[in-house]
């Protein structure tokens, strides 16, 4: 069969879905490194810290005990119980463990979307939301955030229609670093109750909120709990990105539906990796507090340098800056062209804003060593 022939056999569904745009930087960077170029990646959303020793030890011990078999499809009982204990009124039956919160989100859309159902997504937004909604047969409906990256509550209200199934809220936000305050989340909760909508809360960065701002989860609003599906992850907080352990918290019927899907998909999440996650939860919060302080310091350093070059809103959470580079675009240049120019000329990888649904901006990950941050910003400044 020729390549053209076999290509025509691909489903329309997969042909209309784009691969993760941030992941495409990995082979590109590897290629530059192989050429001997001094590259600095500020493109991938990954903490630089080591995976904590107790996590590694617990994972090794699980392997030594030969915890290498199929496991409970909803996740290890011990892990679900420990997670449920962190949410008032929640039991293990409300928790499902997934291969990262990415798979949790994919599963949510598969479980709630019928063809044509709409999911409201504030943009700019993380690269996978829209593609995951499309893979579930749904339609993403984008509502721009305001100039300060906060939610446009009027815009979201106006976007609600007969086909709206859910509103997705990601706070702290990737790519902008915005943290939505309680009153804004209360408005979303009221809107969802009024129009009988599902609320999806992606809290992959929930602990990383800076400047002593309160960490506020939609889960704290009791009125919305019966329609709330929340996802969190071990990836960013515990530097466990390769473990692939995340989870969803959902009303019992939704959790059961997600487990039904899981039973045909991956069966269960890697058993010994889940033992590592149990160990992560058993650690006191001191480690996370120190990591948050360290990230806040890097945020300050990166923000100082970047805001001297571009207009930039100071991020309050996560580990990204999302400056406006439109003043530096050559005629006809997109943020994608700009990021490619920066990579080519400086060896610094950043992600174009258009990948997150907002041109004229770029995303810069500041979870990098200080010397690399300073070197990267010096190189970019020279090119500008
Ligand atoms: C907003 C957001 N949600 C979810 C994820 C998925 O993370 P993981 O699958 O590692 O839990 C990411 C990863 O970058 C993210 O930025």
Q: What is the 3-state secondary structure (H, E, C) of 161-175?
A: CCCEEEEEEECCCCC
Distances (CA, A) of 275 to 56, 70, 79, 100, 232: 9, 13, 8, 15, 17
Residue 202: CB within 6 Å of ligand 1? yes
Residue 273 lies in a domain: yes
Residue 215 lies in a domain: yes
Residue 102: CB within 6 Å of ligand 1? yes
Domain co-membership, 277 together with 353: no
Domain co-membership, 202 together with 246: yes
Residue 233: CB within 6 Å of ligand 1? yes
Residue 59 lies in a domain: no
Distance 252 CA to ligand 1 centre (A): 23
Q: Are the C-beta atoms of 152 and 132 separated by less than 8 Å?
A: no
Position 225 scores a pLDDT of: 97
Residue closest by Cα to atom 16 of ligand 1: 174
Which of 204, 207, 237, 317 to mutate for ligand 1's pocket (most ligand atoms within 8 Å of CB)?
A: 204
Position 26 scores a pLDDT of: 73
* The domain boundary residue, chosen from 258, 282, 306: 282
Residue 203: CB within 6 Å of ligand 1? no
Residue 160 lies in a domain: yes
Domain co-membership, 115 together with 170: yes
* Single pTM value for the model: 0.95
Long-range contacts of 326-334 (CB under 8 A, 24+ apart): 326/359, 326/360, 326/361, 328/384, 329/360, 334/359
Residue 318 CA: which ligand 1 atom is closest? 16
Domain co-membership, 81 together with 178: yes
* The domain boundary residue, chosen from 248, 282, 316: 282
Domain co-membership, 223 together with 370: no
Position 28 scores a pLDDT of: 76
- Comparing 2 with 178, the larger pLDDT belongs to 178
Position 141 scores a pLDDT of: 98
What CATH number should be reported for the domain holding residue 304? 3.90.1150.10
| 269-287 mean pLDDT | 96
Residue 340 lies in a domain: yes
Domain hosting 100: range is 66-282
In this predicted structure, the answer to whether residue 1 has a pLDDT above a threshold of 70 is no
Distances (CA, A) of 352 to 25, 37, 338, 362, 365: 11, 21, 8, 5, 12
In this predicted structure, the answer to whether residue 22 has a pLDDT above a threshold of 90 is no
Q: Are the C-beta atoms of 276 and 55 separated by less than 8 Å?
A: yes
Domain co-membership, 120 together with 168: yes
Q: Half-sphere exposure (CA, 13 Å, Cβ side) for 305?
A: 21
Residue 129 lies in a domain: yes
Domain co-membership, 197 together with 301: no
If you average pLDDT over every residue of the chain, what do you get? 95
Position 3 scores a pLDDT of: 66
Residue 174 lies in a domain: yes
Domain co-membership, 78 together with 34: no
Structural domains of the chain, count: 2
pLDDT in tens, 247-257: 999 999 999 99
pLDDT in tens, 309-358: 999 999 999 999 999 999 999 999 999 999 989 998 999 999 999 999 99
């Amino acid at each position: 069969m020729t390549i053209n022939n076999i290509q025509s056999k691909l489903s329309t569904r997969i042909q209309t879905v784009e691969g993760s745009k941030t992941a495409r930087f990995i082979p590109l960077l590897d290629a530059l490194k192989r050429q001997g170029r001094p590259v600095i990646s500020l493109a991938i959303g990954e903490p630089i810290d080591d995976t904590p020793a107790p996590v590694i030890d617990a994972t090794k011990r699980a392997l030594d005990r030969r915890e290498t078999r199929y496991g409970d499809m909803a996740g290890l009982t011990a892990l679900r119980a420990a997670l449920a204990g962190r949410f008032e009124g929640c039991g293990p039956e409300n928790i499902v463990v997934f291969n990262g919160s990415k798979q949790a989100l994919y599963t949510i859309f598969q479980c709630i979307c019928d063809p044509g159902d709409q999911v409201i997504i504030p943009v700019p937004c993380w690269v996978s939301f829209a593609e995951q909604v499309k893979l579930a047969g749904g339609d993403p409906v984008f509502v721009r955030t305001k100039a300060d990256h906060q939610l446009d509550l009027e815009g979201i209200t106006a976007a609600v229609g007969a086909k709206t199934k859910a509103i997705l809220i990601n706070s702290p936000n990737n790519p902008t670093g915005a943290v939505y305050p309680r009153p804004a989340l209360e408005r979303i909760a009221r809107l969802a109750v009024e129009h009988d909508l599902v609320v999806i809360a992606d809290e992959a960065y929930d602990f990383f909120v800076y400047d002593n701002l309160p960490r506020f989860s939609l889960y704290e609003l009791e009125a919305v709990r019966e329609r709330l599906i929340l996802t969190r992850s071990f990836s960013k907080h515990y530097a466990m990105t390769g473990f692939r352990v995340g989870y969803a918290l959902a009303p019992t019927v939704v959790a059961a539906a997600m487990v039904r899907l899981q039973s045909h998909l991956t069966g269960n999440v890697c058993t010994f990796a889940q033992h590592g996650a149990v160990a992560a939860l058993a650690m006191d919060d001191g480690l996370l507090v120190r990591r948050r302080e360290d990230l806040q310091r890097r945020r300050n350093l990166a923000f100082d340098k970047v805001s001297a070059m571009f207009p930039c809103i100071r991020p309050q959470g996560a580990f990204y800056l999302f400056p406006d580079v439109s003043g530096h675009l050559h005629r006809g240049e997109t943020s994608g062209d700009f990021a490619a120019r920066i990579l080519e000329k400086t060896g610094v990888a950043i992600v174009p804003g258009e990948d997150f649904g907002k041109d004229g901006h770029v995303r810069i990950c500041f979870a990098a060593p200080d010397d690399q941050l300073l070197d990267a910003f010096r190189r970019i400044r020279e090119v500008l």
